[in-house]
Amino acid sequence: MSTNVEIQRSNAIKKLYFRVSTLSFSNNLVSPILPYLIVYYGGGVKESGVFQASNNLLGNIGQIIWGRISDVTGFRKLMLLLGSLPMLLVSTIYLMLITLFNSINPYEIITLSAIATFIGSSSAPVIGDVISDLSDYSRRAVVYSIHSNLSAIFSIVGNLVTTIIFQAVSNTSTAISMIILLAFTSASASVLVTLSIPKSIIDKNINTIPGGKVALLNIIEYVKSFKISLSNKKFRGFAFANTFYNFSLSLAWPLFIITQRSVLNLSPAQITSFSIASNAMMILSQYITGRHVSRNKYRFFTLVNRFGLVMVPLTYAFSTDYIQILLLNIFVGFVSGFTNIIFPMYIVECAEEKDRATFFGVYNTLIGLASFAGSMVGGLVSGYLITIFGLVQGLRISYLISAIMRFISAVITLKIKEYVY
């Protein structure tokens, strides 16, 4: 009997690998071109900031809802399915808009992307919980790193395919239509494999809150999610340090595409290559972290990440060509891979088994709120500075502000005692 369960769990893990591969491929066919299209179709710093802010807010704030639903009902398969559906639906709408009007309004892109991000976020607080239950304690980090690396690998493949299509097809609208159609096909495969995973293997059979599904309608239960997780001292320090740091990170996010498109005059293929380079290095870093970084090194590698990312706005502030930004993305991908593995494993360590998805949801909601505020503030402040000092100088001042904030946040991370010990 136990052997049969082990086989089912092993098969479920393989299906999760296939799911994340096809889903990552479809998402990364489309996601690299959306910020470019916003600028291409007439958007500026304001629209770029709204795009970043709305995606960060809805994609992360939704996770406390999805995480609580998962912990209350145990319907983790449903959460994984909802996470696979948005690209299927949104790609259809994109195709209709391009076919009928041969154009997309920047705010249509912003709205559709925000909705898709909100629904798609349903699987984020669940996947770490599912992997923890399906794998032995000694192999959790390995399984999670494989899952993360497959996501990164197929992100690269998606970016490469998008780059090839843009290079091979001269008509921009035709190239976009081809990319979105391919994304629809891959997303369909992700939905089908998710449906094939047995509920008995990944769903929980208990309701952790009296009243079960009725409790989901009570807003107090979502408030309790914060109380449950933030009462944990180790988690609280970790969450607050990262919340402030992500606010500092996101100040510069709306500016990157403006520098790439309007200052350096980079092509869509060059812009997409940044994601390819970053994800390639992230794969290597996640492999090293998952297999060779011991628990007592978590704090050290986290601080390497936090202080290392201060370089990003500094490089953008003074960059003059494509190669400089490409090398920067290689570095960013490598240091980002550390925390992609360390943080989920640390959250699992902090939370009781019955509250894991709630902890993931609260953490990502806090990060989302911080990123939303940072992106909005970054977009508005940089827009104001650009009107006073001009495009290049206004962006440079904005990047320097972001670099100072990142450094202060990294020092706070260093000082917080509860953080990743």
**Nearest alpha carbon to residue 396 among 210, 275, 263, 294:** 263
Side chain identity, residue 233 = K
Asked whether 76 and 126 are in contact (CB, 8 A), the reply is yes
Rounded to the nearest 10°, the torsion over CA 176, 182, 183, 184 is: 110
Cα(323)–Cα(325) distance, integer angstroms? 5
Q: Which residues have C-beta within 8 Å of that of residue 282, sequence separation ≥ 6?
A: 152, 333, 334, 336, 337, 340
Would you state the pLDDT for residue 206?
53
Question: Predicted confidence band at 25 (pLDDT cuts at 50, 70, 90)?
Answer: very high
One DSSP character per residue, 242-308 reads HHHHHHHHHTSHHHHHHIIIIIS---HHHHHHHHHHHHHHHHHHHHHHHHH--GGGHHHHHHHHHHH
Asked whether 387 and 152 are in contact (CB, 8 A), the reply is no
How far apart, in Å, are the Cα atoms of 310 and each of 10, 374, 409, 411?
40, 15, 10, 11
Q: Under DSSP, is residue 419 helix (H, G, I), strand (E, B) or coil? A: coil
How far apart, in Å, are the Cα atoms of 389 and each of 44, 102, 264, 386?
16, 36, 18, 5
HSE-up of residue 189 (Cα within 13 Å, Cβ side)? 18
The residue length of the chain stands at: 421
CA angle, 411 as apex, 374 and 326 as ends, to 5°? 60
Would you state the pLDDT for residue 322?
93
237 pLDDT exceeds 90? no
403 pLDDT exceeds 90? yes
What is the mean pLDDT of the segment spanning 33-54?
77
Task: Read off the pLDDT of residues 346-368 as tens digits, 9 standing for 90 and up.
Answer: 888 887 777 777 788 788 888 87
- Phi then psi for residue 297, to 5 deg, are -100, 0
What is the mean pLDDT of the segment spanning 104-132?
84
Question: Predicted confidence band at 417 (pLDDT cuts at 50, 70, 90)?
Answer: low
What are the extents of the domains in the chain? 2-203+222-415
What is the mean pLDDT of the segment spanning 33-51?
77
Q: Which residues of 164-199 are buried (b: 16+ CB within 10 A; e: fewer)?
A: ebbeeeeeeeebbbbbbebbbebbbbbbebbeebee
**Nearest alpha carbon to residue 204 among 262, 256, 130, 305:** 130
Location of structure tokens 């395919």: 161
Task: Read off the pLDDT of residues 150-166 as tens digits, 9 standing for 90 and up.
Answer: 887 898 899 889 888 88
What is the mean pLDDT of the segment spanning 267-293?
82
3 pLDDT exceeds 60? yes
Joined together, the tokens standing for residue 340 give 């992609």
Task: Read off the pLDDT of residues 4-22 as tens digits, 9 standing for 90 and up.
Answer: 777 888 888 899 999 999 9
Range list of H helices, 196-218? 199-202
Side chain identity, residue 225 = S
Q: What is the CA radius of gyration of the chain?
A: 21
406 pLDDT exceeds 90? yes
What is the mean pLDDT of the segment spanning 188-200?
89
Cα(107)–Cα(374) distance, integer angstroms? 20
Q: Which CATH class is domain 2-203+222-415?
A: mainly alpha
Asked whether 39 and 257 are in contact (CB, 8 A), the reply is yes
